[in-house]
Structure formats: C-alpha cells, structure tokens
C-alpha cells in the first residue's frame, strides 16, 4: 500500500501545472509498472516535480549571482583581511612561536656578541665577520623538501576527491538501476509487472505451511528499491565515520610507546569499521542484484550493475589508502626540525642587516619574517596530510557534506522522481551494523568498551545530522 505524505501537495494541484501539450501520447496506465517512463500518471508527476524544483531554485540562483558582485576596493580590503585571519588562525601555532623565540634570541645574542676590529691605536674599523651565510643551505635543507611535500600532499587530496566523485556517481547509478531498470520487451514477458512471489521462496521464509493461494502475490519492487536506498545511505554513512577517525600515522605513532599504543587502538577500530560496515555491506548490496537476476534481469544489465559495485569498492579502497598512509615520514620530520632551527642559524645575517641599517629592530624583523615563512609552509604540509579532517583545516575535504548530506539529498530526489506518489522516506535503524552479540563483543574489544557504545550509536544512520552547512 502506498503512503502519501501529509505535507506533500495533492496530485490534483500537481496536475494543474501539466497540460496535454507538454507530453506525448502515453500508454494506458495499466500497461507498465510505476517506474516506466510511459506511465501517464507517473510521467506527469515526474515532470511536475522537476518543474517545481527548478522554479524553486530560480530565486536562489538570482540572489547568488547578485550577492557575488562586489566593488574592487571593498573586495581588496575583504580579501586582505581574510588572508590575515587565515594566517593567524590556522598557521599560528606553538611551533611558530617556538621558532620565532629561537630566532629572536639568537639574533639578539649575535648582535651583542660580534666583536669590533681594532687597529694598533685602538680605533674601531668594522667587524671581524660580515655575517654572510650561504643561502643554498636554506633552499636545499628546507625549501626543496617542503615544496615536494606540498606537491605530494596536494596530489593525495586530488586523488581522494576523484575517488569520492567516483563513489557518489556509482551510488546514484546503482540506485537508479535497482529502482527502474525493467526487462520486459515485446513478446518476451512482462518484466517487473509480471513477477510474482514463488511458493517455495515464501515457504522458506514463512514456513512450509505458507501458500500464496489462488491469487499469487506480486513482487513489491518498491520495497526492493527502499531496501537498496537504505543500504546505500548506511554504506555512505559508515564510510564517513571511518574517514573522520583521528589520524594515527604521525611520527609520534611510530617512535614512542604511547603513540604506538594510541595508533594500535585507532587503527584497530578503523579496520573494524571498514571491514564490517563498509565491505560487509557491499555483500548485502550485491545480493540485491542477485534478487533482480532471479526475477529475470538480463545478464548484460546485471553485469553493468556489477561494474558500478566494482567502482564503489575500488573508490573505497583508494580512500582507505589515502587515510592510512602518508607522505614520507622522514621527509616530514626533516622539514619540521629545519623550519624551526635553521632560521636561528642565520642569526649573523640578521645581525649584519641590523648593523648596516643601524637598527636592531630591522634585523629582528628580517629574522621573524624568515621564521614565519618557513613554519607556515610546513603547516600547509601538515594540514594536507589527512585530507578528511575538514573540521580542523581549511583545505581538507568536507566528507560530511559529500557523504552524509549530498548523497542523501541526491538519492531522495531520485526517489521522488522515480516514485512520485511514494510517502516520506524513513531511514530505519541500521540493524546490520548492530550485529549479533558476538559482533558487539568483538567490536568492544577492538574499540574499547566505552568507545564501542559510542561507535554503535553513531553507526545508526538515523541519528546523523543531514543538514548542510551551506543551507541558509
């Protein structure tokens, strides 16, 4: 039985926007299933739904184009202020403060420690050293490794974006296939509308005494599509939970005992989430394709569905590699140390600037700018190392928006277009990720007793906030 949302406009009001001139001559309503593009009633509802969505977006589009127009002086001031705010908020940290203090201290000490030259009569005539230090050391020891690290980190981020795009595209196409693909052709059967429940299948589910009776029960393909969309949403939510786990592959996680313990706990929980909630759910999605094949889906179309499933698993594995592996650890440790200590090593050069300008403040300013520039470059590398922590950095991927919000919204729009008269979608609790008592105990051993309860609560997709951060 189809449920109609109370907040949904009535069909009569929808039909008011539709005229016979807008559509070609449809087939009779009883000749095709509800997912057929030739079904007169559903076709009208689909076009009307798309028209309503398009009309609703027009004011927002006009407002967006209008609000994006700025005068050049105002835009210059706002951009400058924004850049300074980003710098002090995201790039100003304890490493920057430590490097600045070290550079200023070394400059002051070198300024007062440099000795004057004296002739035989005791007159001063310059300094024993002019403070020149080869700058090739600065470029070789800091700039080159940091620039290489930035390139590698940015490439990893771009690869993760491509994998996310591939995953979302496969999710959408997979739902459309399960919800609408039909296999009925002229003189080759009735396709979905000719499928009935099998007595043996019903007996296996409900018991040997169950019988369909004289009137066979039709297959509920609406329920099949609802099951598909539910699994896809829960799969996307589980992938989001995995990707937003804390980072566990930094230097401290490799060389310190406390860091190794932290890394083991985080990675063990991460592997459990990935294998159970992500890979395990793909088995359930794969079985849905088998259900369509059992009812008559041709092998070539089933092969295309399998191809999209393969795209999804490949994309998830690519995301896992980006999550759990980093750019060269030795290179990052090398850059971290030299960005803090090398500017102080150039203190005599800053002193020379101070002597030439007769101003210690000028020499300190040069040292401060050098130290800030190097630590800011390294901070860019550090923030791009884990591209999935958008709540911490500016340039990371907004995984929540991509996997929790947009996937849900796109599937809901596809469902609305596919089944115009369907009621409001209700995402039930994720029974699969709750698992059996044995699975709960195993997850508790890996993630900790307290963390297990929290993770199981978060694994229930119903409780995730799907409100977009960009929604007015």
DSSP 191-220: GGGG-B--HHHHHHHH-TT----SSPPBP-
Residues 6+ away with beta carbon under 8 Å from 320: 242, 274
Rounded to 5 degrees, what angle do the CA atoms 310, 315, 316 make? 100
- Which helix (H) or strand (E) segment is 125 a member of? strand 124-127
pLDDT tens per residue across span 32-77? 344 555 556 667 777 787 788 788 888 888 888 888 787 788 888 8
CA dist., res. 196 & res. 88, Å (int): 66
pLDDT at 9: 42
Joined tokens for residue 400? 């929540």
Written as six digits, the tokens of 2 are 């189809």
Task: Give residue 11's pLDDT.
Answer: 40
Separation CA 166–CA 314 (nearest Å) = 9
Contacts of 311 (CB under 8 A, 6+ apart): 166, 167, 169, 170
pLDDT tens-digit profile, the chain (472 residues): 334 343 444 444 433 444 444 433 333 333 334 455 555 666 777 778 778 878 888 888 888 888 878 778 888 888 898 888 888 776 678 888 898 999 999 989 888 876 555 544 555 555 555 666 767 777 777 777 888 888 888 888 899 999 999 999 999 999 999 988 887 664 456 777 777 776 666 665 566 565 555 456 677 788 888 889 999 999 999 899 899 888 888 888 888 888 888 888 888 888 888 887 777 888 889 999 988 888 888 888 899 999 999 999 999 999 999 988 887 888 888 888 888 888 888 888 888 888 888 888 999 999 999 888 888 888 888 878 888 875 556 778 888 889 999 999 999 988 888 887 788 888 876 544 444 334 444 444 444 443 444 444 344 455 677 877 766 6
pLDDT number for residue 71: 79
What DSSP letter does each residue of 441-471 carry, written as one string? HHHHHHH-HHHHHHHHHHH-GGGS----TT-
- Residue partners of 387: CB distance under 8 A and separation at least 6: 153, 156, 157, 160, 322, 395, 396, 397
How many other CB atoms are found less than 10 A from the CB of residue 316? 23
H or E element that contains 61 = helix 40-67
Main-chain dihedrals φ then ψ at residue 166, nearest 5 degrees? -65, -40
CA distance 193 to 38: 14
Q: Which two tokens stand for residue 356?
A: 């030439």
Predicted TM-score (pTM) of this structure: 0.75
């Amino acid at each position: 039985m189809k449920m109609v949302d109370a907040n949904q406009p009535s069909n009569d009001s929808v039909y008011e926007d539709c005229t016979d001139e807008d559509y070609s001559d449809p087939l009779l309503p009883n000749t095709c299933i509800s997912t057929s593009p030739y079904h007169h009633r559903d076709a009208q509802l689909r076009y009307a739904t798309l028209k309503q969505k398009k009309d609703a977006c027009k004011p927002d589009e006009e407002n967006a184009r209008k609000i994006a127009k700025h005068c050049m002086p105002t835009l210059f001031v706002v951009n400058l202020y924004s850049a300074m705010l980003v710098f002090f908020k995201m790039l100003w940290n304890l490493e920057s403060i430590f490097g600045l203090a070290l550079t200023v201290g070394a400059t002051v000490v070198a300024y007062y420690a440099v000795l004057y030259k004296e002739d035989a009569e005791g007159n001063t005539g310059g300094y024993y050293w002019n403070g020149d230090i080869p700058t090739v050391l600065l470029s070789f020891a800091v700039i080159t490794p940091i620039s290489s690290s930035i390139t590698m980190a940015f490439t990893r981020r771009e690869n993760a974006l491509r994998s996310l795009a591939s995953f979302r595209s496969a999710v959408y196409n997979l739902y459309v296939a399960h919800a609408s693909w039909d296999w009925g052709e002229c003189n080759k059967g009735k396709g979905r509308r000719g499928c009935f429940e099998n007595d043996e299948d019903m007996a296996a589910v409900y018991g040997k005494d169950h019988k369909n009776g004289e009137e066979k029960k039709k297959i509920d393909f609406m329920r099949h599509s609802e099951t598909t969309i539910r699994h896809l949403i829960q799969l996307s939510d589980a992938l989001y939970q995995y990707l937003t786990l804390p980072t566990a592959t930094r230097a401290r996680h490799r060389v310190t005992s406390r860091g190794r313990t932290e890394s083991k706990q985080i990675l063990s929980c991460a592997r459990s989430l990935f294998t159970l909630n992500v890979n395990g759910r793909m088995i359930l999605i794969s079985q849905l394709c088998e259900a369509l094949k059992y009812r008559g889906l041709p092998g070539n179309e089933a092969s295309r569905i399998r191809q999209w499933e393969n795209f999804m698993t490949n994309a998830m594995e690519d995301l896992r590699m980006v999550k759990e592996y980093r750019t060269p650890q030795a290179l990052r440790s090398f850059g971290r140390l030299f960005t803090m200590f090398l500017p102080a090593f150039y203190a005599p050069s800053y002193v020379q600037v101070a002597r030439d300008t007769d101003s210690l403040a000028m020499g300190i300013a040069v040292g401060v700018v050098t130290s800030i520039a190097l630590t800011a470059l390294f901070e860019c590398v550090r923030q791009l190392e884990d591209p999935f922590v958008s709540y911490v950095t500016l340039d990371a991927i907004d995984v929540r928006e991509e996997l929790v919000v947009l996937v849900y919204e796109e599937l809901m729009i596809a469902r609305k277009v596919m089944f115009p008269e369907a009621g409001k979608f209700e995402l039930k609790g994720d029974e699969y990720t709750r698992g059996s008592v044995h699975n709960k105990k195993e997850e508790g051993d890996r993630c900790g007793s307290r963390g297990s309860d929290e993770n199981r609560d978060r694994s229930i997709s119903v409780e995730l906030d799907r409100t977009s951060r960009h929604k007015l």
